Amino acid sequence: MAGSRVGRPGQAAVGPARAPRCTGSGCLMVPAEAGKRPGPYHRRLDNAFTRRAGIEVPIIGGPMYPCSNPELVAAVSEAGGIGIVQPISLTYVHGHDFREGLRLIRRLTAKPIGMNALIEKSSRRYHERMVRWVELALEDGVRFFITSMGKPAWVVRRVHAVGGVVYHDVTELKWATKSLDEGVDGLIAVNNRAGGHAGRRSAKRLYAELSHLKVPVICAGGVGNEAEFVRMLSLGYAGVQMGARFIATDECRASQPYKDAIVRATERDIVLSERVSGTPVSLIRTPSVDRQGLRPGPAMRWMLGGKRTKYVARTLLLLRSLRQLKAAVLDESGSRDFWQGGKSVAGVHSVEPAGDIVRRFAAAARL
């Protein structure tokens, strides 16, 4: 909440038992009476993550390029989880001015939302744009941020100055320790079943590696049904981040062929391709993926292996893939079948409203 600092995760909030009314778009909502939350809840749903984020259900609607449209972000938050704005998806794929996109989401829900800041400084222009987006989000009351692919210190400084929270994507202890040294409040633990840039460790092994760090750890990868959600909470995770499960929803603007592919897919249909960004990215195996292959050509592999040329190579691959993924996500013909997805697809068996998913998962955790 702007102008009022709350304690670090796991510590009590500082201030009176009755919090002032939230007026910003996406601000941290503190329960009106200390120790009480609206409606029934189970102890697994009430933890440092949910309290600091101001949400009822420890589910993050993961930031997805190209699938995170405003209606989907809002639906996850409205149901009690927290939807995350992916700014490039919001602006480049779905055609919204960034601030107007945030305000569209606020018209659909008054509950907290978050933003994903990709902080790799591969381009000065891109970095300046990301700084501007973070500032606009803060001005509009967003107080939950997920940082990825870089050093999060500058985001932490800005967000903490107004009492917000920053979680950082990590795949192993080394990166977790570095991000905590820069002041993040929690960790998004990306495992080997995740979509997008997957990690190398199982969810169980990764939690064992990170659990001693004494901050909330969120499981990212492999959760497509309520049984997996409950299992991750039982392992000790403070919550889960889901992507593919929320693509197969009514609110997601992804094409019907893409949603149908997720519903049909099994774990065996998920492959790792180095052609998207130069590092392994999880894709659904389709005729288009088979035609392209999973590895770049010899010249690109040579560039990726060079100390000076690897960043140029990654940028070239990524720019091509951004265009390809954008074209595919909205193509209702299904002919541009270049689609991302993680192994959680094994637990997705229908297209349904995002709110129904959040509520069903919450009910399973309360049993």
What structural domains and CATH numbers belong to the chain?
43-253+346-366 (3.20.20.70), 266-342 (no CATH)
Query: What per-residue confidence (pLDDT) applies to 367?
Result: 85
Query: What per-residue confidence (pLDDT) applies to 307?
Result: 87
Asked if 336 and 327 count as a contact pair (C-beta separation under 8 A), the reply is yes
Q: Say if residue 225's pLDDT is above 50.
A: yes
pLDDT interval class at 31 (50, 70, 90): very low
Query: What per-residue confidence (pLDDT) applies to 165?
Result: 98
- Tokens encoding 364: 């399973």
- For residue 340, the cross-strand partners are 283
Q: Tens digits of per-residue pLDDT, 179-218?
A: 999 999 999 999 999 999 899 999 999 999 999 999 999 9
- Tokens encoding 78: 């409205």
Cα separation, 129 vs 281, whole angstroms:
25
Query: What per-residue confidence (pLDDT) applies to 221?
Result: 97
Question: What percent of the chain has a predicted confidence (pLDDT) above 70?
Answer: 88
Query: What per-residue confidence (pLDDT) applies to 125?
Result: 83
Q: CB-hemisphere CA count at 13 Å for 347?
A: 20
Query: What per-residue confidence (pLDDT) applies to 14?
Result: 35
pLDDT interval class at 126 (50, 70, 90): confident
DSSP 175-210: HHHHHHHTT-SEEEEE-TT-SBS--SS-HHHHHHHH
Q: How many residues does the chain have?
A: 367
Q: Which residues of 276-296 are buried (b: 16+ CB within 10 A; e: fewer)?
A: bbbebbbbbbbebbeeeebeb
DSSP 22: P
CB within 8 Å of 236: residues ≥ 6 apart: 207, 211, 217
Cα separation, 1 vs 22, whole angstroms:
7
- 2-11, 108-117, 316-325: lowest mean pLDDT where? 2-11
Query: What per-residue confidence (pLDDT) applies to 279?
Result: 87
- 25-34, 81-90, 162-171, 215-224: lowest mean pLDDT where? 25-34
- 45: helix, coil or strand? helix
Q: Tens digits of per-residue pLDDT, 36-54?
A: 444 444 567 999 999 999 9
CB within 8 Å of 72: residues ≥ 6 apart: 61, 83, 246, 249, 251, 252, 253, 354
Average pLDDT, the chain: 89
CB within 8 Å of 134: residues ≥ 6 apart: 115, 117, 145, 155, 158, 159
Q: Tens digits of per-residue pLDDT, 298-337?
A: 999 999 999 889 888 988 998 999 999 999 999 999 999 9
